[in-house]
Amino acid sequence: MEKELKIGFLQQHNTADTKDNIIRLAESIADLAKRGAELIVLQELHNSLYFCQVEDVDNFNLAEPVPGPSTNMFGELARRYNVVIVASLFEKRAPGLYHNTAVVMERDGTIAGKYRKMHIPDDPAYYEKFYFTPGDMGFRPINTSVGCLGVLVCWDQWYPEAARLMALRGAEILIYPTAIGYAANDTAEEQQRQRRAWQTVQRGHAVANGLPVVSVNRVGYEPDPSEQTGGIQFWGTSFVAGPQGEILYEASENEEESVIVSIDMAHTEQVRRWWPFLRDRRIDEYGDIIKRYID
């Protein structure tokens, strides 16, 4: 039997006006809910600009506790519109201790669970290690009224181990709030290679685990405040893939989008019967996977 889930996502261009960003998010959540969305997924660090382009201690002022103002606001939206919302917040856990945290709000406005980003990049224009302590909650899916959500965040999407552990713990769908884009000094060909690789690796997680994948990226240009780089042109291309890696929807590279995609969640059972990858795993031979490198 089919088990249809209507997933809404917002691919948004952010500005320095945090209040305006949040107002637009709230309006779009209301619109998606009225159009029938049951689960709404937001992009990474959606309340503000992507501040990790520079190392600036003043940016810690953007962080907030969880629960806190944003979870209160998104929780009220979830309750009002009877939807589950996947939000992405800059969490202040304690003075000097911060995380990049995804929070799932249940239909009744409560926090169903949260996930702290585990893999933290440190690259030009992506100085996340300056801001975020690696997560310490493990790879554990979050149970909700719409299903068991394997929520990960951005850089986590390159790691098959993270997706696999979510799947082994019963995740029914993999969700990746994201902020990734083009470096201005790369050629157009290299930019497209990177974008396609980003999508391909996540489609691989769908295939290897027999699970749908939802990846929601930012869109638009955000300048580098330090002017050391050319800023980031976020490549959008948010997408939803089915459990065989098939693209169910792909958003624009340069436009905001508010989309609802229907997924048959029961299809996973059939796909895993055809391709029993979990059955055939050689778990007795994988011990070395915990080593950094095998000499």
| Nearest partner of 6 among 42, 41, 39, judged by Cα | 39
Contact between 90 and 272 under an 8 Å Cβ cutoff? The reply is: no
Q: The tokens of 235 are what?
A: 């490549």
278, amino acid identity: L
- 250 a catalytic residue: no
| Nearest partner of 232 among 247, 218, 245, 221, judged by Cα | 221
Q: Which of 117, 128, 172, 222 is catalytic?
A: 117
- 154 a catalytic residue: yes
| Nearest partner of 149 among 28, 35, 40, judged by Cα | 40
Q: The tokens of 152 are what?
A: 């990960």
Q: Which of 38, 44, 91, 172 is catalytic?
A: 44
Q: Which of 52, 154, 172, 222 is catalytic?
A: 154
Distances (CA, A) of 10 to 5, 103, 172: 17, 16, 21
- 291 a catalytic residue: no
Q: Apex CA 152: angle with CA 273 and CA 18, to 5°?
A: 140
How many Å separate Cα 159 from the centre of its chain?
13
Contact between 116 and 109 under an 8 Å Cβ cutoff? The reply is: no
| Surface-to-core class of residue 99, CB atoms within 10 Å of its CB (0-12 exposed, 13-18 middle, 19+ buried) | buried
Q: Catalytic positions, please?
A: 44, 117, 154
